[in-house]
Structure 1
Amino acid sequence: MLHYDPRACLPSAAELPDSDDTPVDNELQNLIPNLLGAILGWVWAERTDWFFGVDMGIYYAAGEPPLVPDGFLSLGVERFVNGSEGRLSYVLWEENGIPPIFVLEVVSRTYGGEYERKKTDYAKLGILYYAIYVPSRRYWRNRPSLEIYRLVNGVYELQGEHLWMPEVGLALGKENGIHLGWEREWLYWYDSQGQRLPTPEELAKVALQERERANRLAERLRALGVDPADLD
């Protein structure tokens, strides 16, 4: 008996565009999701069951244009695929039908209601959490700078500006900080106690300070005639 697998007729990631080729109109649309992805790369360094995409096409049906959020998180998928090349796009029929659990949109200065339209598309796809962040009050005067929604009975309900996501095991929120030398409000991940998770930059800075402190201590010991190696 001949078994027909319709997935065999669907295009692969290599045959599909990796985004919608629409350029971002402010650098924060990449910097903000990239920071979230970098933090996860440290927090979940030992895990291989997640993927965070930035400005990458999500293909959910053959013949349909991709959804392209500024950032998205998927759980229960392979962290690395295709060897050193990685994913070209996120294709649901190559990811065992697993949609992202979280998507992020950073509002552009050309905002024209597209985030409400995307909200409908993401809900149809079953994406559990949807966050919209506005980097400038000029674009979004009468609403909070960060809105986080949860899908409830097929409809997104606003949860607030800081939300614990038990399915993810992290919370999303915002606060002032410094990233790449730029001091402003950024989005961060938080633990169950509400503590902000450090960025790779902050961890590197702490490691450098510890190394410099150890070097100064070693110099003082040598000045006293003590070889630091003898203390090991």
Structure 2
Amino acid sequence: MLNFNLPRYLPSADELPDSDETPVDNELQELIPGLLKAILLLLWSERMDWFFGVDMGIYYHPDKPPIVPDGFLSLGVERFYDEELRPSYVLWDEQVLPMLVLEVVSQNYRKEYSDKLDDYAALGVLYYVIYSSRRRRKPHLEVHKLVNGKYELQPGNPVW
């Protein structure tokens, strides 16, 4: 699953940058992932086997910059509290790929429908969710599922 031809030395999350210093473009980029995380905290309060990151870098190779979705969900990883909080999500440490990533389209288009879609597919993320409040003729919310290495837009209302 995480076989990316990595070099021998792999830095820890503490040794990698934890921010790209890029500010969010609008409130929705913080509100939507934050709301989803709050809902999961309520629904899964007893579970300690999941992690939802907001504006956190996902490191997939130590020599490449991280991918930074607005939000992502990983199942099967330990949820930490207090001093054990993650500064970033390092795949070679976690050994669990996020199953869902969320991108909120901002006023400054950041290739959510092209490059990011391809990047997440190459990693093997099962669900790629895009929310755009600015779309006029297409749905505001799109859920894409990875099928045979390519994302397929899920028809109808695929929100669980």
Is the TM value for this pair above 0.5?
yes
Q: Please say if 1:157 is aligned against 2:152.
A: yes
Bigger RCO of structures 1 and 2 (CA < 8 A, at least 6 apart): 2
Which TM-score applies when normalising by structure 2? 0.90
1:107-156 deviation digits (Å, cap 9, x = unpaired): 00011534421000000111000000012x2xx33321011000000000
How many angstroms apart in 1 are the aligned matches of 2:113 and 2:148?
20
| Aligned equivalents of 2:89, 2:63: Cα separation in 1 | 15
Q: Report the residue type matching 1:117 in the other structure.
A: D
Structure 1 CA distance for aligned equivalents of residues 64 and 49 of structure 2: 27
Q: Which residue of 2 aligns with 1:45?
A: 45
1:110 and 2:108 are equivalent in the alignment = yes
Give the conservation status (yes or no) of the 8 Å contact 1:7–1:93.
no
Q: Secondary structure at the match of 1:80?
A: coil
Matches of 1:67 and 1:45 in 2, distance apart? 28
2:22, 2:141 → 1: CA distance?
23
Distance 2:141 2:14 in 1: 35
SS in 1 for 2:154: strand
Percent of residue pairs identical: 63
TM-score (norm 1): 0.63
**Gapped regions of structure 2 (runs ≥ 5):** 1-5
Shift of 1:53: 0.4
For 2:89, the aligned partner's letter is Y
- Alignment-mate amino acid for residue 50 of structure 2: W
The change in CA–CA distance for 1:110 and 1:125 in structure 2 (over 3 A counts) is: same
Is residue 55 of structure 1 aligned with residue 58 of structure 2?
no
Kindly indicate whether the alpha-carbon contact (under 8 Å) linking 1:144 and 1:161 is maintained by their aligned counterparts in 2.
Answer: no
Q: 1:147 is aligned with what amino acid?
A: E
Q: State which drifts further: 15-24 or 148-157.
A: 15-24
Residues 11-160 of structure 1 correspond to what in structure 2 (within 5 A)?
Answer: 11-80=11-80, 83-96=82-95, 98-111=96-109, 113-135=111-133, 137=134, 140-160=135-155
CA distance in structure 2 between the partners assigned to 1:19 and 1:161 by the alignment: 36
CA contact (8 A) 1:106 1:134 kept: yes
> Partner of 2:106: helix, strand, or coil?
coil
Larger of the two Rg values belongs to structure: 1
Conservation of the 8 A alpha-carbon contact between 1:146 and 1:161:
no
Q: Could you tell me how far apart the structure 2 residues matched to 1:130 and 1:162 are?
A: 15
Name whichever structure is richer in helix by fraction: 1
Q: CA deviation at 1:19?
A: 3.0
Seen in structure 2, the aligned counterparts of structure 1 residues 80 and 112 have a Cα distance that, compared at 3 Å, is closer
CA contact (8 A) 1:25 1:109 kept: yes
